[in-house]
Amino acid sequence: MSSRTFEDKQSQGSPSSGVEFLKGVGQVAGGTLLSITMLASSIVAGGLVGLAISFRNLPDVRQLRNFFPSETTYIYDIKGKLLTSIHGEANREVVPLDKISPQLKRAVLASEDADFYYHHGINPKGVGRAVVTNWVAGGVREGGSTITMQLVKNLFLSQRRQFTRKIAEAVLAIRLEQILTKDQVLEMYLNQVYWGHNNYGVQTAARSYFNKSAEYLTLGESAMMAGLIQAPEEYSPFVSMEKAKYQQKEVLGRMLTLGWITQKEYDNALKEKIKLGKIRSFQGSALPYVTNAVSQELARKFGREALLKGGMRVQTTVDAKFQEMAEETVSKWHRRLSSQGLSKNQIALVAIDPRTHYVKALVGGVDSKTSEFNRATQAYRQPGSAFKPFVYYTAFATGKFTPDTVVYDTPVSYRDGSGWYSPRNYDGGYSGAMSIRTALKLSRNVPVIKVGKAIGMNKVVETCRTLGIMSPMEPVTSLPLGAIGVTPVEMAGAYATFANYGWQSPTTVIVRVTDSSGNVLLDNTPKPQLVLEPWAAAAVINVMQSVITDGTGKNAAIDRPAAGKTGTTSSEKDIWFVGTVPQLTTAVWVGRDDNRQLATGATGGTMVAPVWRDFMLKALKDTPVEYFKPPSKFPRPKK
């Protein structure tokens, strides 16, 4: 613990010193309020101390004097190769309180526990507010936790929101403040709290977010960091600067209300230019994009604390050598496409086994060392014409359409909202009557919109949800042209369900999770369910084979039966090729992070299909040729 107190540090260059500075807040409300607060605190504290007799089995807070890191979580590839290890201490550097910016200490106290230096571990005002909120909600919605209570919860208790756990927190908080000073509690909290992106403790967080020591954080940076505590990944400036700035303003507003900063300091902090560092969460990972996706999935299923402290053993679906081959392919084509005029291009690639829905390769960008942002799982980009198979499947599933049904590529206008919408083809012309097979293989826009209107756009949305595409979408006339945001992993998973004739398991990067004793926590052995009409799924695959044999995807031909679809947005910001063989489905996306045009005339068929072909030839080198089942092998849906 630090030998210099928070009060000592505040006295240097500050209008008031430590406790006296914070006491000013209580003085604003007058001596009577302070007396009432202290009386209530004593009553509640006394009652909880009495309750402590009923909590004889609670942890002994004295063990904090000899605190050791929690168990490490290990992540392996499918063959047992260690990819990375993660635990609560993996990215932490403990610093004394006097090496932490006074601005950050004030910001955290303002945000989390303004009365920290006045209560004895619990805050009656906060508890009272939480009781009322929870009574109205009919359950635990607000905790009323002090910094001390948060600390003991993080160190000793489960994350489940239960009334008994809140009492336990309060009891332990009172006990802790009997053996540690306020400064010691604050120092431990700031070094223990989670700041996002696997940063535990204020020092590593400061270096990650702002590339500086916690000692030198400015008021603007401090307020932004304090605003992360409630939901670090959601409010992270690496994820959304807009949300981070909103939280920063909230914290600064709280500090201003408390009288801890002046109006000028508030205004200057809001205007301060934030210069970000870089995410350092998985620097030790052999396959950062894979371990990033695995960690996200584990956190969703078990919670962040279990991921970082639970000592889990995780077997992924990915073979390290196969993944490295995919990353090398992406890197090679990044350079090649750059030389062809697609400057600043990024590429994402996702390969899935349609029989299991196991992810076999997941590449989230051209270089994980320069950017850990995982475009395979986190970038929502427009799929363009790669969306069309979802519309045609929906039509086939009604029993009223087949691949040979005649549709008309002729001018049409629809009243859409407050005006009229007249769809056009990519080449600006029209081709008259044609089959659905021809319309899809040539990627004509007008026929797919006519089919979508005929069957109902709401049914198309339902199909997308069934296929696992959960991005926001409205049943508007232009929906069949893919003007929505989707991720490459969603597209690969959807096409994999077609390739497996409607049978689907949840798409995953995890095979199995056990604890350190070998007890199974998660078993993702595939349990396929039939979610689509098999004939309609087989019909879509059959039509998409024509895309590769003599359509817009001819550059994807790989000398074996394959089905796929090109995708190009009207502004050439996103270009795709998503395709499959019976044993492997792969989605490839190319675009720019700034969402600007790649190049005039850039299309999925000319630019991305060759990337897909190159990868698939390598991936299937030792895999026997298999043929898709024709639609005639399945019963047709009734009209």
Answer whether 568's CB lies under 8 Å from 552's CB: no
Give the separation between CA 530 and CA 528, rounded to whole angstroms.
7
CB 460 within 8 A of CB 475: yes
Residue 492 CA to residue 427 CA, distance in Å, equals 27
Distance from C-alpha of 21 to C-alpha of 31, rounded to nearest angstrom: 16
| CA separation for the pair 256, 408 (Å, rounded) | 65
Alpha carbon distance 204, 233 (integer Å): 15
Q: Strand pairing partners for 75?
A: 84, 314
Neighbours of 390 (CB within 10 A): 25
**Exposure of 621 by Cβ count < 10 A (0-12 exposed, 13-18 middle, 19+ buried)?**
exposed
The active-site residue, picked from 385, 443, 505, 546, is: 385
Tell me which residue of 252, 303, 245, 265 sits closest to 88, measured CA to CA.
Answer: 303
| CA–CA dist 443, 426 (Å, integer) | 9
CB neighbours of residue 280 within 10 Å? 18
Q: Which two tokens stand for residue 337?
A: 């496409």
**Mind giving me the DSSP string for 161-182?**
--HHHHHHHHHHHHHHHHHS-H
Q: Cα separation of 477 and 416, whole Å?
A: 7
Distance CA 608, CA 559 (A): 18
The SS3 of residue 76 is: strand
3-state secondary structure at position 127: helix
Residue 566 sits at φ, ψ, to 5 deg, of -80, 160
Buried b (16+ CB within 10 A) or exposed e, 483-516: bbbbbbbbbbbbbbbbbbbbbbbebbbbbbbbee
Give just the sign of the alpha carbon dihedral 458, 461, 467, 472: negative
Residue 246 half-sphere exposure, CB side, CA atoms within 13 Å?
8
| Interatomic CA distance for residues 414 and 450, integer angstroms | 10
Can you count the helices (H) and strands (E) in the chain?
A: 24, 16
Phi–psi pair at 364, nearest 5 degrees: -100, 5
CB 533 within 8 A of CB 502: yes
Query: Among residues 495, 537, 496, which one has the least CA distance to residue 394?
Result: 537
First to last CA, the chain: 75
Report helix, strand or coil for 639: coil
**118: nearest Cα among 191, 49, 42:** 42
Residue listed under structure tokens 């604003």: 28
Taking alpha carbons only, the member of 396, 408, 617 closest to residue 502 is 396
In the annotation, is 112 catalytic? yes
Q: Which of 112, 177, 297, 327 is catalytic?
A: 112
* Residues noted as catalytic: 112, 385
